[in-house]
Amino acid sequence: MSHFRTQAKLYAEYRPDYPPELFDFIAGAVPEHKLAWDCATGNGQAAAGLAEHFERVFATDIGAEQIAQAKPDPRIEYHVAPAERSGLADHSVDAVTITQALHWLDIPRFYAEVRRVSKPGGVFVATVYSDPVLGDPEADRILQHYNKVIVGPYWPPERKLVDEAYRNIPFPFAEIKTPHLKMERLWSLPELAGYLRSWSATARYTKQNGLDPAMDFENSMAAIWSEASQRRRLHWPFTIRAGRVF
């Protein structure tokens, strides 16, 4: 089941893009660049980065609403499909990627599919980013209060794997060294609030309580955010795990 059906448009508009160096790393890890599979592609953020390096990108997501928000690209084939049944041929894929979504899956079944579709020695890359940081103690306190207290009870249990930055997630591949990359944006207060509204926990809170919790967040933050249109730098702790598939 997709956790992002109700806010697919917000997800497409406000989720941060991935650094280009991520896709440079992935391309540099494989000898051939014929086909990449981006699983749980959402609105195709990672698929677009892969398309700069691979002849074809096969991008799948269980949510048709998410894929409907993706920008068309002649190098990308979008398909509605579950992670454990991609529809790809055996041993046909040079690189498999999954960004900010591994924790939502039936991981053993997905890994079996990764092994089935990957070429021998192909690369599997999973990335995750944790809670954003503004670098201002008061602003970060308000942001963490929203995440941990206001919508905290509305996160699914799998969210714990994100908080752990995938340290304890099963990873039965021949792990390879990954680069340390920055993930950051300059955002206004409305943009930050839009990002919070893209969270599955915010959507679940709104559905159960009939009100938007991000409104109170904006009001609280406005007191220290001199002007709503002022842009502040946010960064997300960013983790990459990569391994060879044999």
Q: How far apart are CA 101 and CA 82, in angstroms?
A: 12
CB–CB of 149/95 below 8 Å?
Answer: no
* Domain-located, residue 110: yes
Name the residue range of residue 193's domain.
Answer: 8-245
* Domain-located, residue 2: no
* Domain-located, residue 13: yes
First to last CA, the chain: 29
So what's the pLDDT on residue 6?
A: 52
What is the rounded (10 degree) CA torsion for 36, 39, 41, 44?
A: 10
pTM (2 d.p.): 0.91
* Domain-located, residue 182: yes
* Domain-located, residue 186: yes
CB–CB of 93/118 below 8 Å?
Answer: yes
So what's the pLDDT on residue 48?
A: 96
So what's the pLDDT on residue 11?
A: 60
So what's the pLDDT on residue 109?
A: 98
CATH number where 141 lies: 3.40.50.150
So what's the pLDDT on residue 124?
A: 98
In the chain, count H helices and then E strands: 10, 9
User: How confident is the model over 148-174, as pLDDT tens digits?
Assistant: 999 999 999 999 999 999 999 999 999
* Domain-located, residue 3: no
The total of structural domains in the chain comes to 1
Which portions of the chain are predicted below pLDDT 50?
3
The one-letter amino acid at 231? R
* Domain-located, residue 1: no
* Domain-located, residue 171: yes
